[in-house]
Chain A
């Protein structure tokens, strides 16, 4: 599992409230990603990070912001949660290994967020 944890694992919140999800890794990987997974849409990239304080948008970034102040933590914030943001959120890292620099992606266990 490449030492990836996500917190909280489950959260129920109300429309309009701010929500922050945390992804924590223990192996100093440079690249980290936030995805959401919804029936009928598959996995969609929200934001990703390629280093401390270096982040960029994915295909569904509206309504989300991220921060990475330490290598090991990547935070996803919903400034004002909406019902359309009810989803399962996955964090992932990209691990590079071997002499050929093989890149492998590993995922966290997910956070199930419900916005009422």
Chain B
């Protein structure tokens, strides 16, 4: 059974800090990995998707990397802002499966 671990489970930082959120997965036959953001009481919003053939993807202040050999992905948030406060989840798909495996998320609070 595939598993995804997200560390830390919760994080509270002052505004302006650069952050790294971690996602570890157990299956090296990864097809892609997706990062999501979830605001309280809302659905999941797709942030970045990395294919297995890629090493990283960037969108604005967000950068996601993928290291298949170590089974890890990191989400880097530059110059954090209070508006970044949310829960961040990662999910990966293995080849031949259409059922992604989700982590439980990292709850981020950025205080002014």
Contact = CB atoms under 8 A, between A and B. Distances in A.
Interface of A: 31, 41-43, 45, 48, 50, 58, 90, 92, 94, 100, 102-110
B104 A42 contact: yes
B43 A108 contact: yes
Contacts of B43: 90, 107-110
Contacts of A50: 98
Contact of B93 (A58, A90, A92, A103): A103
Interface majority SS (helix, strand, loop, mixed), chain B: strand
A29 to B, nearest CB: 11
Contacts of B45: 107
Nearest to A40: B104
B26 interface: no
B32 A103 contact: yes
Contact of B89 (A43, A92, A103): A43
Nearest to B49: A104
A94 B34 CA distance: 12
B101 to A, nearest CB: 9
A90 B98 CA distance: 17
A104 B98 CA distance: 10
Given A42-B102, A43-B89, A103-B98, 7 more contacts: A42-B103, A48-B98, A50-B98, A90-B44, A102-B51, A104-B46, A105-B100
